Amino acid sequence: MKSIVVYSSQTGNTKKLAETIYENLTDDKAICKIEDAPDPSDFDIVCLGFWLMAGKPDPKSQEYLKKITNQKLFLFATHGASSQSQHAQQALETARTMASQANIIGSFNCPGEVNPKVIKKASSKPEPPVWLKDAPNAEGHPDSKDLEQLTQTLKQCFA
């Protein structure tokens, strides 16, 4: 099977997850930034990673999601919120909807340390975003426990 890991990362958080996924894939595999991503139709399995913007996948990832048809798709994301938060779950659901033509085989999300400039800007808004209260807990993530959980999730999805 031919697999590719495509990721969008501003702070390196999603890149950490992408590299872990790549290390766990076998056979013919590739990894690239979303800006360099080839046509997904050339692959059997696409693993797409993104960061969240306004409760949705970042804009470049949204465009790529729409191109994925008939491939097996594994979604992964990092964000400033709790993994179980409504914010994170809704974002993954939005990604699933955008990739409605794909065969989604699994997903993973975890907190990712938020850039202090982003926290400062978000804090100054009249109505701060919901993830802001969880942002301090995201410091240092993804960590070794997150990467181990990702590895376990991959084993289940690719078994």
The domain ranges of the chain are 2-157
Q: CB 93: neighbour CB atoms within 10 A?
A: 12
Q: In which band, very low, low, confident or very high, does the pLDDT at 128 lie, cut at 50, 70 and 90?
A: confident
Of 31-35, 36-40, 100-104, 116-120, least confident by mean pLDDT is: 116-120
Convert the pLDDT of each residue in 36-77 to its tens digit: 999 999 999 999 999 998 889 999 999 999 999 999 999 999
Domain 2-157 is classified in which CATH homologous superfamily?
A: Flavodoxin domain (3.40.50.360)
Side-chain-side CA neighbours of 156 within 13 Å: the count stands at: 9
133: which DSSP letter? Answer: G
35: which DSSP letter? Answer: G
